[in-house]
């Protein structure tokens, strides 16, 4: 799957709450109710990520998870990143 052009990236970001362009990636910091909720988000997302075989760069600090999505094989942002962002939005909504 190929790299997205700037217009497609901008269009995708308008559909995704709180996501920003970060160079060759799209990024968001999710904030949860607690450290446990942040861990639950990562645990719930992990099988979905593996199913997609498309993996985020992500890190946790206390109740926050910062996610950066880029397609390393393509060298930038592809539809796989937009799809994974949509999945992470959906998973984040399931965490109390």
Site residues, ligand H2B (CB under 6 A)? 53-55, 70-73
In the complex, least distance from residue 43 CB atom to ligand H2B, rounded to whole angstroms:
18
In the complex, least distance from residue 36 CB atom to ligand H2B, rounded to whole angstroms:
26
In whole angstroms, give the CA distance from residue 70 to residue 80.
8
Among residues 1 and 62, whose Cβ is nearest to ligand H2B?
Answer: 1
Among residues 71 and 92, whose Cβ is nearest to ligand H2B?
Answer: 71
In the complex, least distance from residue 57 CB atom to ligand H2B, rounded to whole angstroms:
8
What residues contact residue 74 under an 8 Å CB cut-off, 6+ apart? 1, 2, 3
Long-range own/partner contacts, residues 71-76 (CB < 8 A, 24 or more apart): 71/1, 71/3, 74/1, 74/2, 74/3, 75/3, 75/24, 76/3, 76/4, 76/24, 76/25
Among residues 51 and 96, whose Cβ is nearest to ligand H2B?
Answer: 51
């Amino acid at each position: 799957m190929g790299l997205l052009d700037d217009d497609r990236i901008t269009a995708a970001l308008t559909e995704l709450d709180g996501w920003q362009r970060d160079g060759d990636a799209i990024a968001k910091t999710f904030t949860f109710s607690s450290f446990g909720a942040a861990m639950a988000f990562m645990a719930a997302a992990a099988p979905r990520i593996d199913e997609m075989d498309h993996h985020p760069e992500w890190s946790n600090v206390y109740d926050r998870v910062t996610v950066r999505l880029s397609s390393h094989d393509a060298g930038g942002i592809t539809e796989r990143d937009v799809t994974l962002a949509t999945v992470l939005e959906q998973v984040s909504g399931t965490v109390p």
